[in-house]
């Protein structure tokens, strides 16, 4: 029997006043651009992180398993202590979460793509010529005219050919197959239920598709759409339940607020900058036990292949550390949800440099914080899903297992 | 599916004359008392351990999972190679084990607390005013007068308000809820069976409680008792079965003898000192393949917050190593069941410095043995439950998996 670490934390959690701050630099880990070179984190001047390193213990966080590159969903679930191989967020639900749509229990979310079909209904372009957002968004909004008995329907534009549909009503489940045939010259597939509980969802989807075909008829590019990644709201136990923590998320982007909301964190403040995020942290310091602070730009620069930009963003992050230290958290964690090396312009599987500071962290001898140091750190390499048990123990919030 | 490593060792075990010695310094790992300071093990002068380190390979043993602090039960089961998340020892069974009571299959052990109740039977003190042992022990022994048809009843005093009751008879199982309501001003709860197999245990417990109430009536403090942690003897496969080892335990304290007995080790000698333990080791050297030697005082000094005392105890342990070397075991292991930093005065989650020496251990370059060195060791960080497979392989006692 594989154990869920939450079975332990539910039983062993204890309460105190200790504050835990988890500062997540998205895509923190990197690679050298050239053989023998330095990574972004090694290149950046990070005096404040290095001071933390001298007081703390570091290691390499493996987001899912060695060699597995995670998306944002599993990357963050791991950091939050939810086994990313157990808790799967369906694509539709992640897409809805990413645009800030608050899914409710029983909702089914679907990621839709506008497509082009010919007179016979065969697909000629699976992405409607990558229709620009200015054209696609009004079309998506026009689909809000669709009305289905007994179901509330939400349609939300995303980018280019993408939009999200959410069905809200009784008896809807998400085990329905994609209608995208992944080919041109064929008709879209019919939605098919993979279990009896999803039969009603298929009826609703069929009715949506029928009305959408009418509403989009005559459009030059986007005259139909496919539906992918049908997904109910994932059922994640809350931070309060599994850890006994009042948790707050301080993020700029909807995706990370949404992921935090799925585990029961409160979204606090409406910060648009890192400074404003730390204003929110200080303001809400007394109201919560745990703070998740998300910094996006180490990932987005990495995805752009912008090595220097990522270095600058890391230095920006370093410069905020004194504001964190002023609050004197019992446990400070600096980590990332995965690596995003500029060299790869993509999420990667490499262990993420992770630093933990507390009065009982058993400091290792390291005095800098990066990919090269972390492999010699006292935390060794560990699966990200164990970071929260380490955080709780270092905060004195976890009792002994067994007598 | 999670695999039990015993499924492998059962198949792959082979036999030879190689001796394995596992020297367990309870609570070995520690922490500095001040930022930048040294741990107990780093402070102690340990020339003999350092010599072993130069010949051996070391690493950090994670007792259960990262961030989880174990009690003595799961801590030792892990070292013995039994997944501490799979093999749970109920509190009653551990308490009985801890006082040296030899549980038999079918026994149900219960940890009991004397309490004070008023005329209406409502609890006024859950621990009977923490009645001293001199008063409580005779009271516990007086409960041996209790007689129940078809069941043998054992009552054993423990410390202060605690005692242990064991029911021995047909058809008894341990899934019964605590009667301690965890509150005062209310009556003790009735014992309730959580499965049909435990119904008879509830009948027996009710009869025990009825007679105990009569026997204790009129006592000024301890005029009743609660029952907690009902537990059958845990079913652990034996060392002989899972490893093919004739195993001996050389321990001073009943708890560790009891834990060893649960996995089928023989308890040899009646040593009261470390020297006497090594006399017993030499005496029984030819009779066994595996020796578990338990040294308590690195834990008890840590729990007392006695940093200097723990340093001295480590030095005492170091001084005995030449006696171990004289016997020239094929595999020498020095480890702990968990860390007990004097700084925390408690068991902790920190990886335990662990050292393994054999002629084929692949030595790492380290020449000292402590918390700082072990993180750079050749064993890396590993879950304690894998220490026994490492021991067996290093002893040449484990064949190849698969062709």
The DSSP symbol for A386 reads G
The structure tokens 């007068």 sit at B145
Stated pTM of the model: 0.91
- What is the token pair recorded at A132? 């620009």
Contact B67 A363 (CB under 8 A): no
Domain range A5-88+237-394, CATH class:
alpha beta
Output the CA–CA distances (angstroms, integers) from residue A369 to A30, A360, A365, in the order listed.
Answer: 13, 19, 11
3-state secondary structure of A96: helix
Q: State the pLDDT at residue A360.
A: 98
Report the distance separating Cα A339 and Cα A157, nearest Å. 29
Over residues B179-185, the mean pLDDT reads 95
Q: State the pLDDT at residue B91.
A: 87
Q: State the pLDDT at residue B403.
A: 84
Strands (E), A233-366: 247-250, 266-267, 290-295, 331-335, 352-357
**Which chain A residues have any C-beta within 8 angstroms of a chain B C-beta?**
1-3, 5, 8, 12, 55, 360, 362-365, 376-382, 386, 388-394, 398-403
* C-beta separation of B123 from B187 below 8 A: yes
Query: HSE on the CB side for B180, CA within 13 Å?
Result: 19
Of A365, A386, A400, the CB nearest to B66: A386
CA distance A334 to chain B (A): 17
Contact B66 A8 (CB under 8 A): no
Q: State the pLDDT at residue B2.
A: 54
Tens-place pLDDT, residues B76-114: 999 999 999 999 998 899 989 888 899 999 999 999 999
What is the DSSP pairing of strand A331-335 with strand A352-357?
antiparallel
Report the distance separating Cα A351 and Cα A357, nearest Å. 19
Q: In angstroms, what is the C-alpha Rg of chain A?
A: 23
3-state secondary structure of A148: strand
Burial of residue B177 (CB within 10 Å: 0-12, 13-18, 19+) is: middle
Output the CA–CA distances (angstroms, integers) from residue B155 to B96, B140, B164, B198, in the order listed.
Answer: 10, 7, 6, 20
Over residues B211-225, the mean pLDDT reads 96
Q: Is the pLDDT of residue B154 over 90?
A: yes
Residues of chain B contacting residue A364, judged by C-beta atoms under 8 Å apart: 372, 375
Report the distance separating Cα A250 and Cα A240, nearest Å. 17
So what's the ipTM on this one? 0.90
Report the distance separating Cα A140 and Cα A145, nearest Å. 10
Report the distance separating Cα B198 and Cα B230, nearest Å. 10
CA-nearest of A55, A106, A141 to A357 is A55
Tens-binned pLDDT, residue by residue, of chain A (403 aa): 456 899 999 999 999 999 999 999 999 999 999 999 999 999 999 999 999 999 999 999 999 999 999 999 999 999 999 999 999 999 899 999 889 899 999 999 999 999 999 999 999 999 999 999 999 999 999 999 999 999 999 999 998 999 999 999 999 999 999 999 999 999 999 999 999 999 999 999 999 999 999 999 999 999 999 999 999 999 999 999 999 999 999 999 989 999 999 999 999 999 999 999 999 999 999 999 999 999 999 999 999 999 999 999 999 999 999 999 999 999 999 999 999 999 999 999 999 999 999 999 999 999 999 999 999 999 999 999 999 999 999 999 999 999 7
Report the distance separating Cα B10 and Cα B135, nearest Å. 49
Provide, for chain A, the percentages of residues in helix, strand and coil under a 3-state DSSP scheme, each rounded to the nearest 5.
Answer: 35, 20, 45
Instruction: Give the dihedral sign, CA B60/B64/B69/B75.
Output: negative
* C-beta separation of B295 from B251 below 8 A: no
- What is the token pair recorded at A35? 């053989």
3-state secondary structure of B264: coil
**Which chain B residues have any C-beta within 8 angstroms of a chain A C-beta?**
1-2, 31-32, 35-36, 39, 60, 64-75, 84-86, 88-89, 91, 94-95, 341, 343-344, 346-351, 371-372, 375-376, 380-381
Report the distance separating Cα A237 and Cα A9, nearest Å. 12
- Taking the domains of chain A in order of start, what are their residue ranges? 5-88+237-394, 94-232
3-state secondary structure of B164: strand
CA-nearest of B95, B93, B139 to B116 is B139
Report the distance separating Cα B206 and Cα B222, nearest Å. 18
Report the distance separating Cα B370 and Cα B342, nearest Å. 15
Of A1, A363, A382, the CB nearest to B66: A382
Report the distance separating Cα B22 and Cα B47, nearest Å. 19
What is the DSSP pairing of strand A380-383 with strand A57-62?
parallel
- Mean pLDDT, chain B, integer: 96
Query: HSE on the CB side for B368, CA within 13 Å?
Result: 11
* C-beta separation of B96 from B156 below 8 A: yes
Q: State the pLDDT at residue A1.
A: 42
Contact B35 A12 (CB under 8 A): no
CA distance A380 to chain B (A): 6
Q: State the pLDDT at residue B1.
A: 44
Residue B380: CB partners within 8 Å, gap ≥ 6? A380, A381, B59, B60
Residue B149: CB partners within 8 Å, gap ≥ 6? none
- What is the token pair recorded at B15? 């036999």
Q: State the pLDDT at residue A2.
A: 52
Report the distance separating Cα B284 and Cα B287, nearest Å. 5
Which chain A residue has its CA at the smallest distance from B35's CA? A55
Residues of chain B contacting residue A400, judged by C-beta atoms under 8 Å apart: 69-71, 346-347
Tens-place pLDDT, residues B42-54: 999 999 999 999 9
């Amino acid at each position: 029997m594989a154990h869920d670490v939450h079975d332990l934390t539910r039983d062993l959690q204890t309460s105190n006043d200790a504050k835990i701050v988890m500062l997540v630099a998205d895509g923190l880990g990197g690679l050298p651009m050239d053989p023998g070179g330095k990574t972004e984190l090694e290149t950046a001047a990070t005096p404040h992180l290095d001071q933390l390193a001298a007081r703390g213990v570091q290691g390499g966080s493996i987001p899912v398993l060695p060699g597995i590159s995670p998306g944002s969903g599993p990357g963050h679930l791991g950091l939050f202590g939810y086994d990313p191989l157990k808790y799967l967020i369906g694509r539709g639900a992640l897409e809805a979460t990413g645009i800030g749509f608050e899914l409710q229990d029983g909702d089914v979310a679907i990621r839709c793509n506008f497509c082009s079909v010919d007179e016979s209904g065969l697909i000629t372009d699976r992405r409607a010529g990558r229709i620009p957002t200015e054209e696609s968004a009004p079309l998506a909004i026009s689909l809000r005219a669709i009305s289905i008995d007994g179901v509330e329907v939400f349609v939300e534009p995303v980018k280019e050919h993408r939009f999200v549909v959410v069905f809200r009503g009784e008896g809807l489940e998400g085990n329905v197959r994609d209608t995208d045939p992944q080919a041109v010259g064929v008709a879209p597939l019919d939605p098919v239920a993979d279990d009896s509980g999803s039969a009603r969802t298929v009826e609703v989807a069929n009715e949506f598709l029928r009305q959408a075909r009418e509403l989009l008829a005559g459009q030059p590019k986007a005259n139909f759409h496919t539906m992918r990644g049908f997904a109910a709201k994932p059922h994640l136990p809350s931070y309060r339940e599994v850890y006994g923590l009042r948790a707050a998320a301080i993020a700029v982007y909807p995706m990370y607020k949404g992921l935090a909301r799925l585990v029961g964190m409160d979204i606090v403040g409406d910060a648009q900058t890192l400074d404003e995020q730390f204003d929110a942290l200080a303001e809400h310091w007394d109201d919560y036990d745990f703070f998740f602070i998300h910094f996006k730009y180490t990932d987005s620069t990495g995805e752009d292949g912008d090595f220097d930009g990522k270095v600058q963003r890391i230095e920006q992050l370093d410069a905020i550390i004194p504001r964190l230290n002023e609050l004197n958290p019992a446990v400070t964690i600096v980590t990332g949800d995965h690596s995003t090396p500029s060299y790869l312009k993509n999420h990667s599987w490499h262990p993420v440099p992770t630093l933990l500071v507390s009065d009982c962290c058993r400091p290792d001898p390291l005095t800098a914080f990066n990919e090269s140091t972390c492999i010699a750190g006292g935390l060794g390499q560990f699966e990200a899903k164990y970071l929260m048990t380490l955080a709780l123990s270092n905060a004195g919030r976890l009792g002994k297992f067994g007598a």
